[in-house]
Structure 1
Amino acid sequence: MDTLLSVATFTANQGFSVSPFLSASKTFRDDELLWDAAKDFQGTGGYTRLMWAAMKGHIGRVRWLLERGAKVNMQTDNGQTALYYACENGHTNIVKMLIAAGANVNEPKSMYIAMFMGHTEIVKELIDAGANVNTADWDNHTLLMQASESGDHAIMRLLIAAGADVNAKTSYGRTPLMFAADGCAETARILLEAGAQQIV
């Protein structure tokens, strides 16, 4: 504990803009006492060490934190989790580790960011772990609509195979096929073959 206090005091005295504990964790990465004592400490913006490690792809540090009971579903001030950052940055093995440790795959931001970044393998991992493929935002804009609009055929096929509703409607009546109309013929073909209804 003396090490923890001395590191925090030193960091504060240096005038770092982030929290003493968070800054110290970056400066003294080999100090396991510090990491263990404050593994779930939330610094500026609500970030934890697990989030930083997941974001940067430090698989060894992620494993170390999880083995010591780091809380896997903590959120930043904006609602992002360690799983979100692993999905955003394409760290598939870390995604697997977080899921195995109990990460919530139905927190929709993780799936949306994985799709937006085109990380098909991660989308598959989330689906295989039980993610709801029909989740929607406040406007009832679904995952399949997003994939259709962007023309990501691989992800579209994954979602459809997992039971995504090809005839879902937004709050203003648009379907995945309507979003596909803004893209290419192949996108529309995939939806039609999956049972999408044409609106005359």
Structure 2
Amino acid sequence: MAGESFPFTSSTLRALRLQREWLEWEDRRRAAAQRSRGSHRSLLSPQTRLLRPRRSCRDPAVHSALFSGDLQQVQALFQGEEAANMIVETVSNQLAWSAEQGFWVLTPKTKQTVPLTIAAARGYTDCARHLILQGAELDTRIGGRAALHEACARAQADCVRLLLTFGAKANVLSEEGMTPLHLCTDPESLQCARLLLEAGATVNLASQESQATALHVAAARGLDRHVALYLERGAAVDLRTSQGETALNAACAGAEAGPRHEAAARMLLEAGADPRAAGRKRHTPLHNACANGCAGLAELLLRHGASATVSNGAGHTPMDCALQAVQDVQNWEPEALFSALLDYGAKPIHPEMLKYCANFPRALEVLLNAYPCVPSCDTWVEAVLPELWQEHEAFYSSALGMVNQPRRLQHLARLAVRAQLGSCCRRATPQLPLPPLLRDYLLLCVEGRIQ
């Protein structure tokens, strides 16, 4: 009657079915425990039975049923607790270097796991449910990870829900010391993370070796929606890894030219993350952002108080890291990054370093306009590719013609105003009573020639 009166959604019906199956499974487990206690044939305690050696299986037919998710075969092959908890061994040939023979050789490597982990990792929910109802241990870590770890690593939300419904531990540790939440590393794993937190996963629990939290992992991968979820659930932004990295350090170190890492960093900063917190080798988040050529992320950090002049453990400033990125990062326009650093107080680079930007005329113009006069330096001129010189001859010729020549009074006035504003140049310039064109000029806008 209730089914006729209320329009149950598919998710509600699924939850009710899981609850009914869990109750049936619990009743069978209790009945089995009572029979075990009342039986005079078994002299083993429950603790002793857990230590009983497991069966191992290398049968290709069993492997095929599990890895293909053939429910009928799984139901036929896995009957009872012993079968559901057998060790499944797979052997694969992998290339390994042989020092004795001096070349790569194919070496067989054996991997061990259990049926439930295979089914959960591949999203075979019906197979996983059958194995659980047959007595599969939920948190066993044969092969290093539990079924919940693998389900989260593969973003199998339905299997995560199933495992948690039947009592899998949300904070179960892998042999590497990581929780399932640490393995939510794919954008599609957001629902898995939600389910874990609803089931009691500890958001600030650090991995045993690296001391990284789930927030560190999500920030490093630019998972902005995961970062938002963890912050909403109380993730601490000031926790550090064993290398001294905060989540903001991790976000900037893993940053790529794109919006995701920048969005994650913005959330962390708004939650109180310190933009000057130095981590490994005294790299600040700004050093990392500049090394990755992320102009938008660098400007975001600078707006929140990052220092454009601080040195890391090697004595390199963020500008030095940006110059290195010119060589390492492909297909980007470095002038925006150089302009932001100069506007927030970075010093002009040594003339010898101009050669690294010689083939980026717009970036070179920004850097040359930071000097009172164009310095005498043949290294950057010699570094320009002939075809690029031909394409941008007007700019390169104007720069070469102004070497050690007096610059216009307008340019000298610009430098005087910028020096007075210091690191507040970019924030203060929009508030000055100046025409828009003059404001752009003050902020080293690119004109295509040196005057």
Q: TM-score range by the shorter chain?
A: 0.7 to 0.9
Q: Secondary structure at the match of 2:136?
A: coil
Per-residue CA deviations over 1:5-59 (Å, capped at 9, x if unaligned) read xxxxxxxxxxxxx824674364595374530141111121332221222122221
Q: 2:247 aligns with which of 168, 173, 176?
A: 176
Report the TM-score when normalising by structure 1.
0.79
Instruction: Report the Cα distance in structure 2 between the residues aligned to 1:74 and 1:143, rounded to whole angstroms.
Output: 22
Instruction: Report the Cα distance in structure 1 between the residues aligned to 2:200 and 2:227, rounded to whole angstroms.
Output: 17
Instruction: Report the Cα distance in structure 1 between the residues aligned to 2:147 and 2:60, rounded to whole angstroms.
Output: 15
* Counterpart for residue 157 of structure 1: 228
Instruction: Report the Cα distance in structure 2 between the residues aligned to 1:145 and 1:72, rounded to whole angstroms.
Output: 27
- CA 1:34/1:159 → structure 2, altered by over 3 Å: closer, same or farther? same
Q: Which has the higher contact order (CA 8 A, sep 6+)?
A: 1
- Coordinate RMSD, CA, aligned: 2.4
Q: Is the 8 A contact 2:185 2:218 kept in 1?
A: yes
Q: Spell out the pairing of 1:108-119 with structure 2 (5 A cutoff).
A: 108-116=178-186, 118-119=188-189
Instruction: Report the Cα distance in structure 1 between the residues aligned to 2:195 and 2:138, rounded to whole angstroms.
Output: 17
Report the alpha carbon displacement of residue 71 of structure 1 after superposing the two structures with TM.
0.9
2:171 pairs with 1:94 = no
* Counterpart for residue 61 of structure 1: 127
Amino acid at match of 2:124: H
Instruction: Report the Cα distance in structure 2 between the residues aligned to 1:116 and 1:140, rounded to whole angstroms.
Output: 20
Q: Is the 8 A contact 2:149 2:183 kept in 1?
A: yes
* Counterpart for residue 85 of structure 2: 40
Amino acid at match of 1:105: A
Report the alpha carbon displacement of residue 125 of structure 1 after superposing the two structures with TM.
0.9
Percent identity (aligned): 27
Amino acid at match of 1:93: D
Q: Is the 8 A contact 2:86 2:115 kept in 1?
A: yes
Instruction: Report the Cα distance in structure 2 between the residues aligned to 1:114 and 1:25, rounded to whole angstroms.
Output: 26
Q: Is the 8 A contact 1:115 1:155 kept in 2?
A: no
Report the TM-score when normalising by structure 2.
0.37
Instruction: Report the Cα distance in structure 1 between the residues aligned to 2:265 and 2:75, rounded to whole angstroms.
Output: 54
Q: Which runs of 5+ in 1 are unaligned?
A: 1-17
* Counterpart for residue 212 of structure 2: 141
Q: Secondary structure at the match of 1:147?
A: helix
**Structure whose residues are more often strand by fraction:** 2
Q: Which runs of 5+ in 2 are unaligned?
A: 1-55, 90-110, 173-177, 256-260, 277-306, 308-451
Q: Secondary structure at the match of 1:43?
A: strand
Q: Is the 8 A contact 2:218 2:227 kept in 1?
A: yes
Instruction: Report the Cα distance in structure 2 between the residues aligned to 1:103 and 1:22, rounded to whole angstroms.
Output: 29
Q: Is the 8 A contact 1:80 1:109 kept in 2?
A: no
Q: Is the 8 A contact 2:116 2:147 kept in 1?
A: yes
- CA 1:59/1:188 → structure 2, altered by over 3 Å: closer, same or farther? closer
Q: Is the 8 A contact 2:156 2:189 kept in 1?
A: no
* Counterpart for residue 194 of structure 1: 271
Q: Is the 8 A contact 2:187 2:223 kept in 1?
A: no
- CA 1:151/1:60 → structure 2, altered by over 3 Å: closer, same or farther? same
- CA 1:49/1:179 → structure 2, altered by over 3 Å: closer, same or farther? closer
Report the alpha carbon displacement of residue 116 of structure 1 after superposing the two structures with TM.
4.3
Instruction: Report the Cα distance in structure 2 between the residues aligned to 1:65 and 1:178, rounded to whole angstroms.
Output: 43
How many pairs are equivalent? Answer: 182
Q: 1:82 aligns with which of 126, 147, 156?
A: 147
Q: Which moved more, 1:31-40 or 1:125-134?
A: 31-40
Q: 1:30 aligns with which of 73, 82, 85?
A: 73
Instruction: Report the Cα distance in structure 2 between the residues aligned to 1:120 and 1:148, rounded to whole angstroms.
Output: 13
* Counterpart for residue 57 of structure 2: 19
